[in-house]
Amino acid sequence: MFDWFGDTLFNVALFNLVLIGPASFATGHAVALTWRPWLQVVFYTGLLSLTLRFLDYALANGELWSAAGFLLGWAVQLAIAAFAYRLTRARQMVRQYPWLYRRKGLLGWEERH
């Protein structure tokens, strides 16, 4: 196979989407549920990306110190967690303040007039 950010494309997809992806979704959901700021999602997905690099190294003999692999994993995990964060926050705002906000699409809300 060809080298792609220190690993094969199959391993990148497997580790990013199957192993760490659900953890990133749960992270974004949990941070939003506890009304914590967005920067905590960035920090926690960075930690998950470090975990991703270690799992890739330990299970698939990938490169441990691949900066490009780390950044790719972080971008994917951040996208998954951001989706979960925004989805949860939109649901929270509409359910907790129904007299102020209504749902606008999947990830948004707007003020009631």
Q: Give the model's pLDDT for residue 6.
A: 62
Query: Within a domain: residue 96?
Result: yes
Query: Within a domain: residue 36?
Result: yes
* Number of domains present in the structure of the chain: 1
Query: Within a domain: residue 48?
Result: yes
| Mean pLDDT within 24-45 | 98
For the segment 58-104, what is each residue's pLDDT rounded down to a tens digit? 998 888 898 988 999 999 999 999 999 999 999 999 999 999 999 99
* CA–CA distance, 99 with 81 (Å, rounded to integer): 28
Query: Within a domain: residue 30?
Result: yes
15 vs 42, higher pLDDT: 42
Q: Could you tell me if 91 and 109 are in contact, meaning their C-beta atoms sit under 8 angstroms apart?
A: no
pLDDT at 22 over 90: yes
Q: pLDDT band at residue 1, thresholds of 50, 70 and 90?
A: very low
Query: Within a domain: residue 4?
Result: no
CA angle 41, 44, 46 (to 5 degrees): 105
pTM: 0.90
Query: Within a domain: residue 3?
Result: no
Q: Could you tell me if 100 and 112 are in contact, meaning their C-beta atoms sit under 8 angstroms apart?
A: yes
Query: Within a domain: residue 70?
Result: yes
Q: Could you tell me if 79 and 42 are in contact, meaning their C-beta atoms sit under 8 angstroms apart?
A: no
Query: Within a domain: residue 2?
Result: no
Domain that holds residue 65: 9-111
Report percent pLDDT > 70 for the chain: 95
Q: Give the model's pLDDT for residue 4.
A: 60
